[in-house]
Structure 1
Amino acid sequence: MKWISEIRRLKGPRYLAIADAVTRAIDDGELLNGTRLPTHRSLADQLELDVTTVTRAYSEIQRRGLAEARVGQGTFVLARLPDSPVSSLTTTNNAPFIDLSHNFPAGAPPLPNLRELASEVARDLDYGALLGRQSDIGTVSHRAAGATYLQTLGVKAGSDDIVVCAGAQHGIAIALAALTEPGESILMEATTFYGARTAARMLGRNVVPVAMDDDGLMPDALEDALRSGHARVLYCAPTLHNPTTTTMPPSRRKAIAKICERYKIGVVEDDVYGFLLSPRPEPLAARLRTQAIYITSFSKNCGPGMRVGYMRVPEQWRRAVGTALRATTLMAAPIEAEIAARLVRTGLIAELEDAQRERNAERQLIAQQAFRGLDYSSSPTAFHVWLRMPSGWQSEVFAAEAKLRGVGVSPAAFFNLDPKNARDAVRVCLSAAESHDVLQRAAKILADLVVSGNPWAPTAAIV
């Protein structure tokens, strides 16, 4: 192994040389998360050192947070992981690479009417009015369109309630900024969308995990977290949760809403996938009209390039949200906001959503066939599946091995706020494949990898 050879060239105390070599190997990608390091005796023999030197080195590696010792199994790498998948444009691979790590469609469903709308917008758009002024939270007509669209998702709103933002990720960031101060804590589902976690950390907020079960947030766990008094804001995604695909049933929504009402906390509800379900469940924001910010966007029904989102903001927070919006993007792009508004007014957005649901349903059937007999969660019209790892696999190692075989997936470490109490899994984004044939090929690679087992699993005796 390259990193072992490196130890001999490093100067200084041998235990630090070992620790530094392992650190570099992790940063360079030579040692993957979950890799078992050589036993103390084995490495000592290779380097002609005393076993106590290796023991001291491994303790230093654990102190750095880069390894963990498991009783009876050995010492395993805990690699530094990014907060989210890298951009598909930066992924390099000698073979054709199928990137199923990003949860958006590779291209919007083709609709002839969409091209006609684009031509109409280009022909009669009042560029002077749209480009010649600052609209902050959105023009009246754009906010009215947002209110109309939110009605289809079960959220009553007038134009005064709406803030037009630059997509849901932007909406989440400015909502968290408006409702909290640096150093304060935000409650989130123990397994949560990495974009929300990253936004909280960027803003200097602490994230507190709240336990989940198969129905989503657990009421008792939420109440325990609120009773401690360390947080006054909850971020959650009750519908087609990313990544688990869980949708809270009505009884659970009612229980969660009652707890939020009792403790008078602010709620940030992320509902970018709500349009995929029919009938649509009632959003938490419908029950918590004065204490919930509701966020959705057009990145899932139209495509990730459509950076327009709608927020329904209670009056008490509109000034703070507007301030956060101006401090970030100043305003959402007016031309995109106009296109989004026309999609709503013409009814084309409903056609796009119908097409997206149909497309997702076809791809879920492909996944169902490929993953038959495996442990996974999904929903008939969801963008992704949550593929759980069997014994012997760690999701980070599985994702790294899948990448070597030409398929990108997102490991649980991107999502789990409380890894010790979370089930290990990978998110597989079915909608990102360019075609059904490509998805079938990728799904088979993943299914075969699950069944064949971890090629790096420890088999040698521990001495």
Structure 2
Amino acid sequence: MDNDSSIAQIAAILREEAARLGPGARLPSSREIMRRHNVSPVTVSRAIGQLAAEGRVVTKPGSGAFVARHQRPVTGREAADLSWQTVALGDRVVDEGPVAALLAGAPDGAVPLTGGYLHPGLRPDRHLAAAAARAVRRPGAWDKPPLTGLSELRRWFAGQTGGDVTAADVLIVSGGQAALTHAFRALAAPGTPVLVETPTYPGALAAAKAAGLRATAVPMDVDGVRPELLAEAFAVTGARVFLCQPTLHNPTGATLPLDRRRQVLQVARAAGAFVIEDDYAHYLTEQPPPTLASMDEHGTVVHVRSLTKILSPSVRVAAVIARGPAAHRLRAGQLVESFFVARPLQETALELVGSAAWRRHLAAVHAEIRLRRDALAAALATHLPAGAELHLLPAGGMHLWLRLPADLDEGALVEAARRNGVLVSPGRMYYPSEPPGPRLRLTHIAAAHLAELTEGVRRLGRAFAEIG
């Protein structure tokens, strides 16, 4: 039962175990604690959270909970008892773990084969600084912007999306993650299902869960989501929203062919459903295919496009493109939740994408992606055992998706990799339900250079040998 007494009991047991194990030691996994004491995941999570609040343990997403090396000093007074909040907050949980893991920085000396942003050496920081300097000198740069975004910026996003999309269809929001959150809340009622590709982006799964939606998996192959199974999923679940990444899908790298794009639109149209098109990788390939939004004639597609991946984590500027009542609800949702995106940031983005530096930056990143993708694939072929296979070699993007031998312990491999100084993303976090087997997502764009990529794969190879 998830109540104060059971949480307190588990917390007390873990305090004793932490004292016995000593600083830096890893506590038993949540699954092991649940098995030993016959308690729920919520009870375990809250007990560990209580110890973390006391400064006794440190949680590391994807790795577990560890006894803190430096305990909080005793102040002479008893710590405040905040356990009452567990009753007031109820059982709803916002699971930030997968997103926190993706955003976490690499420790000194570790090679990051994780993450979703350009290495600082690849970012156009100098050009961004120049664009920002020009932007803040614009008349009215610090005024309240139009609530849907600067008209020039909306017009630019519309032109980039293609088809008959106009500036009136575009809403500027604070980054792609915010765009997904707005879309989920606007298009689906809490408690209803939402269809997602499997595997899929963990941040989308977290946003859907936070919106009270039930993510239901739709299988993929090397060409992306399978339209016949999408139709079946709509029929079985009654869902009215499907989230997809048709270009350079995260994590598999699959890109939907043109005929499948048409089929997906037809299936969604027949189901009376929306398609959220997360076009996060549009600028991470030299020749992106036509967007679903450019092919949409019925207001089926809600298109999401961000500048964050191609520029910088702090350029939180994205567009949500929609028509009809859905567009009105999206705009109303943003207005109620956050008013608008800061005008200086919008002005900076507009300055940069309108300059020659934008085109040069795109060309440089595309060339670097080709080099890094091929170097990572070659290193994997050289240093990993034969049972580890690439899903496919994508035509761009930041990631490679690796299938592991069926009998391999994915969690043990991720932990062994960490001990050997390389960070990788466990495949389990990309699945809304049980994964079909062990997987890893490997990122090539966060490392400093090609030599570091190769070194990271060597360390991963040592981790394989340790647990093999």
TM over 0.5: yes
Q: Which residue of structure 2 lines up, in the alignment, with residue 207 of structure 1?
A: 215
Could you tell me which amino acid in structure 1 is paired with residue 408 of structure 2? Answer: W
Q: Which residue of structure 2 lines up, in the alignment, with residue 366 of structure 1?
A: 375
The structural deviation recorded for 1:394 is 2.6
TM-score normalised according to structure 1 size: 0.77
In structure 2, relative to structure 1, the CA distance for the partners of 1:394 and 1:247 (3 Å cut) is farther
The structural deviation recorded for 1:236 is 0.8
CA distance in 2 between counterparts of 1:104 and 1:222 reads 30
2:439 to 425, 445, 457: 425
Q: Which residue of structure 2 lines up, in the alignment, with residue 299 of structure 1?
A: 308
Contact 1:66 / 1:79 at 8 angstroms: preserved in 2? no
1:309 to 309, 318, 337: 318
Q: Which residue of structure 2 lines up, in the alignment, with residue 384 of structure 1?
A: 399
Q: Which residue of structure 1 lines up, in the alignment, with residue 27 of structure 2?
A: 30
Q: Deviations over 1:291-316 (max 9, x none)?
A: 11111111121122211112211132
Contact 2:284 / 2:397 at 8 angstroms: preserved in 1? yes
Could you tell me which amino acid in structure 2 is paired with residue 147 of structure 1? Answer: A
Q: Deviations over 1:357-401 (max 9, x none)?
A: 111111112112211154013314321111221133232221111
Could you tell me which amino acid in structure 2 is paired with residue 354 of structure 1? Answer: A
CA distance in 1 between counterparts of 2:139 and 2:357 reads 26
Contact 2:136 / 2:142 at 8 angstroms: preserved in 1? no
In structure 2, relative to structure 1, the CA distance for the partners of 1:64 and 1:173 (3 Å cut) is closer
Consecutive unaligned residues in structure 1, runs of 5 or more: 1-15, 38-56, 68-77, 456-463
Q: Which residue of structure 2 lines up, in the alignment, with residue 240 of structure 1?
A: 248
| Larger Rg over CA atoms | 1
In structure 2, relative to structure 1, the CA distance for the partners of 1:342 and 1:157 (3 Å cut) is farther
1:145 to 156, 160, 172: 156
- State how 1:441-460 maps to structure 2 within 5 Å: 441-450=455-464, 452=465, 454=467
Question: Matched residue of 1:208: which SS?
Answer: strand
Could you tell me which amino acid in structure 2 is paired with residue 30 of structure 1? Answer: L
Two-structure CA RMSD over aligned residues (Å) = 3.4
After TM superposition, the structure 1 stretch with the greater mean CA deviation from structure 2, 355-364 or 331-340, is 331-340
TM-score normalised according to structure 2 size: 0.76
In structure 2, relative to structure 1, the CA distance for the partners of 1:396 and 1:116 (3 Å cut) is closer
In structure 2, relative to structure 1, the CA distance for the partners of 1:249 and 1:219 (3 Å cut) is same
Consecutive unaligned residues in structure 2, runs of 5 or more: 1-8, 45-62, 66-94
In structure 2, relative to structure 1, the CA distance for the partners of 1:21 and 1:89 (3 Å cut) is closer
Q: Which residue of structure 1 lines up, in the alignment, with residue 346 of structure 2?
A: 337
The structural deviation recorded for 1:187 is 0.8
Question: Matched residue of 1:129: which SS?
Answer: coil
The structural deviation recorded for 1:175 is 1.0
Contact 2:135 / 2:141 at 8 angstroms: preserved in 1? no
In structure 2, relative to structure 1, the CA distance for the partners of 1:33 and 1:385 (3 Å cut) is farther
The structural deviation recorded for 1:120 is 5.6
Q: Deviations over 1:221-255 (max 9, x none)?
A: 21111112431011111111101111112222222
Q: Which residue of structure 2 lines up, in the alignment, with residue 192 of structure 1?
A: 200
Contact 1:167 / 1:307 at 8 angstroms: preserved in 2? yes
Contact 1:84 / 1:414 at 8 angstroms: preserved in 2? no
Contact 1:34 / 1:397 at 8 angstroms: preserved in 2? no
The structural deviation recorded for 1:21 is 6.4
After TM superposition, the structure 1 stretch with the greater mean CA deviation from structure 2, 218-227 or 276-285, is 276-285
Question: Matched residue of 2:241: which SS?
Answer: strand
Could you tell me which amino acid in structure 2 is paired with residue 424 of structure 1? Answer: P
Q: Which residue of structure 1 lines up, in the alignment, with residue 167 of structure 2?
A: 159
The structural deviation recorded for 1:265 is 0.4
Could you tell me which amino acid in structure 2 is paired with residue 443 of structure 1? Answer: V
Q: Deviations over 1:385-434 (max 9, x none)?
A: 112211332322211111111111111121111224x2321111110112
Contact 1:176 / 1:200 at 8 angstroms: preserved in 2? yes
CA distance in 1 between counterparts of 2:324 and 2:121 reads 35
- Equivalent pairs, count: 402
Q: Which residue of structure 1 lines up, in the alignment, with residue 84 of structure 2?
A: none
The answer on 1:350 being equivalent to 2:364 is no
The answer on 1:261 being equivalent to 2:258 is no
In structure 2, relative to structure 1, the CA distance for the partners of 1:319 and 1:343 (3 Å cut) is same
Q: Which residue of structure 1 lines up, in the alignment, with residue 77 of structure 2?
A: none
After TM superposition, the structure 1 stretch with the greater mean CA deviation from structure 2, 234-243 or 120-129, is 120-129
